[in-house]
Amino acid sequence: MLSEGQSSVEYHLRSPKDVNSTSLGSLESPTSSPEPFENESIRKPLPVPKCLSNRAATGEKGMLAGGGACTPYPRSFEAMKLACPGMYYTYAKTIRKEIMEGLRYILQTKNQYTFAYHGSGSTGTTAVMDNLIEQGDKVAVGVYGHWSSIAADIAERLGANVIRLKKPLGSRLTLEEIEKALSEHKPKVLYLLHGESTTGILQPLDGIGEACEKYGTILAVDLVSTVAQIPIEMDRMKIDVVMMNTQKAIGGVVGLAPVSYSPKAIAIIRNRKTPPRVYQTDVLEQAREWLIEEPKWYQVESCLHSVSLALLHMLREGLANIVDEGIENVWARHDQSSRYIFDRAEEMGLEFVVPVKEDRLPGTLLVKCPKGKDAYKVTGYMWDKHRIELSTGFGPPTIGKCIRVGLFGENARLDVAETIMDALKDSLSSPETNA
Amino acid sequence: MLSEGQSSVEYHLRSPKDVNSTSLGSLESPTSSPEPFENESIRKPLPVPKCLSNRAATGEKGMLAGGGACTPYPRSFEAMKLACPGMYYTYAKTIRKEIMEGLRYILQTKNQYTFAYHGSGSTGTTAVMDNLIEQGDKVAVGVYGHWSSIAADIAERLGANVIRLKKPLGSRLTLEEIEKALSEHKPKVLYLLHGESTTGILQPLDGIGEACEKYGTILAVDLVSTVAQIPIEMDRMKIDVVMMNTQKAIGGVVGLAPVSYSPKAIAIIRNRKTPPRVYQTDVLEQAREWLIEEPKWYQVESCLHSVSLALLHMLREGLANIVDEGIENVWARHDQSSRYIFDRAEEMGLEFVVPVKEDRLPGTLLVKCPKGKDAYKVTGYMWDKHRIELSTGFGPPTIGKCIRVGLFGENARLDVAETIMDALKDSLSSPETNA
């Protein structure tokens, strides 16, 4: 049995008295018992839904290259069918430890608090905001697209005093603008999207970690569109907290939200006066689930929630795939295929949403739908004729007006890039896609 | 393009001006551009993690019958490997609609707002609390075990004024106690666990819906341990909101948290003065993702977050499996195997944590570890010798002191029940399990 003394949560929602067994009584049974209710009986049920009756899902094949969820690495996808033992056995513990090692590798960090939440990418954004901020804390959010705008909303819902650093479509913040905002507002947290996939912009991070350090601000970065795709060195770049998803360059499917917290971020979280709003994504609770901290005395490992071995297998194999290829080779492969689609788009005379070449988010091509063409017809044609999913942009103001291609993980290869751009050329030249 | 007029969210975090494209600029590109940063270059990466290098996960076989995540239905588990198209195509929309139909069937409800969140079961608990309560609202929570205690904590973190209706170990609330609490506190929400798997108790629900109606209280129920296992008729029982997970009697793996909200609950949520704290699980946002409400003008269907087709396939096939068997037959099969393990436990002279027979949670056997035996050695022996996962209880005060068996979905069969109880008999009679 493990000692509770190892617990490092400084606040208590329940009093210590509540935590021990007295609140629920001991194993001695109650002497008097309540009268039982009448048992519910089985009554006439509703009719069976015809859509499910004697009909199984078939799946549907296609290449996912629209910049959202991507075609997963076969190794990661296939891993979901591996037999799953209980979450408390050595096997399941090992899988978790291996995932943490793999995440540290792709992030180039030594952060101990590197693990994955269950949920989608936005679970990660919410969790990071919720762990870092308390009611009324100042959070500066770079707003240069749909997802960054949502990140600001997420922080506001959680009670933060949000400062939106807005930029017009197709542009990003300069280091000078960021330094000015830090100096003026002294926010507790600066939250930036490294890549804003809805506008196709890359927000460079060089110098920002140092600026945040100068002003005592925590730098939190959304790496959803860039991790395992372009070089990221979390420690060297002085990034305090990052969040990701599993369906882009990590090469899996939607289901987990990896995160990493620096020792500085963890120290700040330990000194909170109030607990994070969401119990399940409380980093100090999750640290027990991921065997980073000692479980409480009554926990075998953790009893925060059941973990999904199927999803852990998926993530573990996505990471192992990257490890076996070598992160430098993965970066180089993404760089090569990204350059190819960008060059082809220029050759085809397509206009980029981001005018400055160096500001374009690698791997995410976002071009304006050519005059005389209907963006939805173009993507519809791509799916119907070529079984390739592209998108027409995402969120205001790009949706329906653009063509977006995302090349991540399995699809970040020259041959795939060529197939996609050939198909796009066909789609754009077809009269079926005319406005 | 869909009209924004269909939106039914009454509050606005962003001003209407922010929501339209002006906040991000139009598609006209900015005339001046910021100076590019120096590009990050590829530097010498950290060494590859040996635990992942040239090593693939193998999976590990065993029967999961510890009352947590259970052995899934093969049909549900296998469905995760079906090819996944993009989330906006007809196929993916159909899968979502079928899931909603299947959930309504197993809940015996006509509620339109019946869908699944991405995450674990506790995502569902958090979401239900967060959608129903605003800062300072009164929530009464029945506390008669670990998970119900956690539910109270979850509500408190989210800002609720929590009234804990505590019962000693092995007992549950009576209708009279509940009516008294409703009358005294007039809570906005009464939150009950139908089954508290950590103490093995069933909280009967008959009459509680009517009592809540009388006092204007919303009845929210956690069905994690009972759905698709014992008869539940959500509408007839006047339950306003329910939450579940996917790894018990629904027969899948951890990853989604199904919920259902009654029209009354939705009406109350629409009249909130402040938005829920968590953006991602906001029921009115999710309603667009699940095609219950019209998407906003800039959304193809929704852009709340990417959905996991692999997990949707898993849930869809778990539900279809139940539909094809017939919910009454599924209930009967669970009842039969549950009675069997309870009878065998009595035959073996084991002492139940819940003394009153009618109060015992069907499908979850929780007995005290016999004197002279070590609970961890008993469960260790079960795994090592029989490849059957049991648990020693869960959370204070049962963990390490009990033996817990959970029979759900695939395992709720007489032959499996017999195998488990024979193995348990062997384990308890082995000198290797002595204290």
Give the CATH number of the domain where residue B305 resides: 3.40.640.10
Is the pLDDT at A277 greater than 80? The verdict is yes
Asked whether residue B59 is assigned to any structural domain, the reply reads no
Please tell me whether residues A165 and A312 are part of one structural domain.
yes
| pLDDT the model gives residue A299 | 58
Shortest Cα–Cα distance, A429 to chain B (Å): 23
Q: How far apart are CA B297 and CA B3, in angstroms?
A: 5
| pLDDT the model gives residue B302 | 58
Q: Which structural domain range is residue A253 located in?
A: 74-324
User: How distant, in Å, are the alpha carbons of A346, A350, A369, A383 from that of A401?
Assistant: 18, 13, 6, 18
Instruction: Select from B24, B36, B39, B18 the least CA-distant residue to A173.
Output: B36
| pLDDT the model gives residue B150 | 95
Q: Is the dihedral of CA B289, B277, A396, A219 positive or negative?
A: negative
A163-202: per-residue pLDDT in tens?
Answer: 999 999 999 999 999 999 999 999 999 999 999 999 999 9
| pLDDT the model gives residue A303 | 72
User: How distant, in Å, are the alpha carbons of A60, A110, B139, B258 from that of B307?
Assistant: 15, 31, 31, 14
B303-319 average pLDDT score: 93
Residues of A in contact with B395 (CB under 8 A): 298-299, 303
B350-400: per-residue pLDDT in tens?
Answer: 999 999 999 999 999 999 999 999 999 999 999 999 999 999 998 887 889
B161-217: per-residue pLDDT in tens?
Answer: 999 999 999 999 999 999 999 999 999 999 999 999 999 999 999 999 999 999 999
> In terms of pLDDT, which residue wins out, A402 or A303?
A402
Residues contacting residue B105 through CB under 8 Å, at least 6 positions apart: A45, A46, A48, A49, A52, B319, B322, B323, B327
Q: Is B66 helix (H, G, I), strand (E, B) or coil?
A: coil
% of chain A at pLDDT higher than 70: 88
Q: Is B189 helix (H, G, I), strand (E, B) or coil?
A: strand
The last residue of a domain, from among B324, B348, B381: B324
Closest CB to A46 among B105, B121, B158: B105
Q: How far apart are CA B172 and CA B355, in angstroms?
A: 11
Residues of A in contact with B392 (CB under 8 A): 300
The answer to whether B84 contacts A97, with C-beta atoms less than 8 Å apart, is no
| pLDDT the model gives residue B105 | 97
Please tell me whether residues A88 and A222 are part of one structural domain.
yes
Please tell me whether residues A239 and A120 are part of one structural domain.
yes
The answer to whether A174 contacts B46, with C-beta atoms less than 8 Å apart, is no
Say which range, A389-393, B21-25, B148-152, B175-179, has the weakest mean pLDDT: B21-25
| pLDDT the model gives residue B89 | 81
Closest CB to B23 among A86, A102, A149: A149
Q: Is B239 helix (H, G, I), strand (E, B) or coil?
A: coil
Please tell me whether residues A369 and A247 are part of one structural domain.
no
% of chain B at pLDDT higher than 90: 80
A39-80: per-residue pLDDT in tens?
Answer: 445 566 788 899 999 999 999 999 999 998 999 999 999 999
Beta bridge partners of B202: B195
The last residue of a domain, from among B293, B324, B355: B324
Please tell me whether residues A177 and A298 are part of one structural domain.
yes
Domain count along chain B = 2
| pLDDT the model gives residue A14 | 31
The last residue of a domain, from among A324, A341, A364: A324
B95-138: per-residue pLDDT in tens?
Answer: 999 999 999 999 999 999 999 999 999 999 999 999 999 999 99
Asked whether residue A413 is assigned to any structural domain, the reply reads yes
Is the pLDDT at A335 greater than 90? The verdict is yes
Closest CB to A172 among B34, B58, B307: B34
Residue type, B25: G
| pLDDT the model gives residue B289 | 87
- Residue B258's pLDDT band (cuts 50, 70, 90): very high
| pLDDT the model gives residue A304 | 82
User: How distant, in Å, are the alpha carbons of A89, A343, B65 from that of B386?
Assistant: 14, 60, 12
What CATH number is associated with residue B418? 3.90.1150.10
| pLDDT the model gives residue A397 | 79
- φ and ψ of A258, to 5 deg: -65, 145
Asked whether residue B30 is assigned to any structural domain, the reply reads no
Please tell me whether residues B307 and B355 are part of one structural domain.
no
A326-354 average pLDDT score: 97
Asked whether residue A2 is assigned to any structural domain, the reply reads no
Q: How far apart are CA B14 and CA A363, in angstroms?
A: 30
Q: How far apart are CA B61 and CA B63, in angstroms?
A: 7
Please tell me whether residues A281 and A180 are part of one structural domain.
yes
Residue B379: both structure tokens together? 């469960």
Asked whether residue B49 is assigned to any structural domain, the reply reads no
> In terms of pLDDT, which residue wins out, B306 or A192?
A192
Question: What does pLDDT average to over chain B?
Answer: 89
Please tell me whether residues A365 and A404 are part of one structural domain.
yes
Asked whether residue A16 is assigned to any structural domain, the reply reads no
Please tell me whether residues A286 and A160 are part of one structural domain.
yes
> In terms of pLDDT, which residue wins out, B76 or A395?
B76
Please tell me whether residues A316 and A330 are part of one structural domain.
no
When scoring A18, A27, A317 by the number of chain B Cβ atoms within 10 A, the one with the most, hence best to mutate, is A27
Is the pLDDT at A155 greater than 60? The verdict is yes
* 3-state SS string for chain A: CCCHHHCCCCCCCCCHHHHCHHHHCCCCCCCCCCCCCCCCCCCCCCCCCCCCCCCCCCCCCCEECCCCCCCCCHHHHHHHHCCCCCCCCHHHHHHHHHHHHHHHHHHCCCCCEEEEEECCHHHHHHHHHHHHCCCCCEEEEEECCHHHHHHHHHHHHCCCEEEEEECCCCCCCCHHHHHHHHHHHCCCEEEEECEECCCCEECCCCCHHHHHHHHCCEEEEECCCCCCCCCCCCCCCCCCEEECCCCCCCCCCCCEEEEEECHHHHHHHHCCCCCCCCCCCCHHHHHHHCCCCCCCCCCCCCCCCCCCHHHHHHHHHHHHHHHHHCHHHHHHHHHHHHHHHHHHHHHCCCCECCCCHHHECCCEEEEECCCCECHHHHHHHHHHHHCEECECCCCCCCCCCEEEEECCHHHCCHHHHHHHHHHHHHHHHCHHHEC
Question: What does pLDDT average to over chain A?
Answer: 89
Asked whether residue B19 is assigned to any structural domain, the reply reads no
The answer to whether B30 contacts A171, with C-beta atoms less than 8 Å apart, is yes
Shortest Cα–Cα distance, A73 to chain B (Å): 12
User: How distant, in Å, are the alpha carbons of A13, A410, B115, B231 from that of B106?
Assistant: 35, 38, 12, 9
Please tell me whether residues A277 and A409 are part of one structural domain.
no
| pLDDT the model gives residue B43 | 60
Please tell me whether residues A284 and A419 are part of one structural domain.
no
| pLDDT the model gives residue A296 | 64
> In terms of pLDDT, which residue wins out, A291 or B251?
B251
Nearest-Å Rg of the Cα atoms of chain A is 24
